[in-house]
Amino acid sequence: MAHDHDHPHNKPLSDTELRVKALESILLEKELIDAEAIDLVVETYETKIGPRNGARVVAKAWTDADYKSRLLENATDAIAELGFSGVQGEDMLVVENTDDVHNIVVCTLCSCYPWPTLGLPPVWYKAAPYRAKVVKDPRGVLDEFGVALPEDTEIRVWDSNAELRYLVLPKRPDGTDDMSEEQLADIVTRDSMIGTGLVSAP
């Protein structure tokens, strides 16, 4: 490695980066992946798929009773009505928060998450502390997120897996009767659809 010249040096690629390059070049050579498709996947997940999709589902359910019953009956189809489907969204179940029940979602095994409606999961969702603690002490986790619920509210924890992914339908906050579907979609947060947050009126 020792050489004595004075041109500027590239930062060497890390071992991890080299492993990805190795894998990519082998798969490209075998024509098992397509370079353009790879770029498209990255672009899609970076710019087009995210929690705004889920927020539109929630806002529609809040403003359209028929849609809401379809959503609770067959979430996958009702979500696809709005154009959201694909990997990790094949089998969806929507669980509704009420005055009596609060739902919260986790994947204890890895990080199963409804990509088409929420995008890719936040770091804390993939981290061991959340995955382990939410099952044992959901109230404690909610407290860390600044969410306090009445003592008699039942908390249900749903463990996502490869077959079934959950989306929480949060409670529509009071004082939002005059808001349009579009305005409502703007106040729905990602965390409220995981169950670690509540939606509040603006």
Partner 1 sequence: MTDKPPIRGSDLKKTPHLPHDEGGPVFSAPWEAKAFAITVDLHKQGLFEWSEWCDTLSEEIKSAQAKGDPDLGDTYYQHWLSALEKLVTVKRVTSMDTLAAAKEDWRAADHHRGFGEAPVLVKGAGGAEHQH
| Residues facing residue 169 across a β-bridge | 96
Maximum separation of any 2 CA atoms in the chain, in Å: 74
Dihedral angle over CA of 63, 69, 73, 75, nearest 10:
-10
Q: Which is nearer to partner 1, 80 or 122 (CB)?
A: 122
110 in catalytic set: yes
Active site residue 192: no
Query: Which residues would be at the binding site for partner 1 (CB under 8 A)?
Result: 7-10, 12-13, 15-27, 30, 32-34, 37-39, 41-42, 45-46, 51, 87-88, 90, 109-112, 119-130, 141, 144-148, 150, 161-163, 189-192, 197-198, 200
Please, which residue, 11 or 178, has the CB nearer to partner 1? 11
Closer residue to partner 1 in complex, CB, 31/66: 31
Query: Running DSSP on this structure, what letter comes out for residue 170?
Result: P
List 25, 69, 110, 200, catalytic entry: 110
14 included as an active-site residue: no
Residue closer to partner 1, measured from CB, 66 or 151: 151
| Cα-Cα end-to-end distance for the chain | 60
Give the DSSP H or E segment for 68.
helix 65-73
Nearest to partner 1 of 101, 148 (CB atom): 148
We find the least distance from the C-beta atom of residue 61 to partner 1, in angstroms, to be: 18
DSSP state, 46?
Answer: I
- Residue 81 beta carbon to partner 1: minimum distance, rounded to whole angstroms: 23
196 Cα distance to chain centroid:
12
| 3-state SS class at 43 | helix
Shortest spacing between CB 93 and partner 1, in angstroms? 16
Amino acid at 107: C
CB of 180 to partner 1, least distance (A): 20
Least distance (Å) between residue 69 CB and partner 1: 27
Q: Assess whether 107 carries a catalytic annotation.
A: yes
- Considering the candidates 14, 25, 85, 112, report the single residue annotated as catalytic: 112
Residue 177 — φ and ψ, nearest 5°? -60, -30
Indicate which residue of 14, 69, 85, 107 is catalytic.
Answer: 107
User: Cβ distance 54 to 167 under 8 Å?
Assistant: yes
Q: What are phi and psi of 88, to 5 degrees?
A: 65, 20
Catalytic (active-site) positions: 107, 110-112
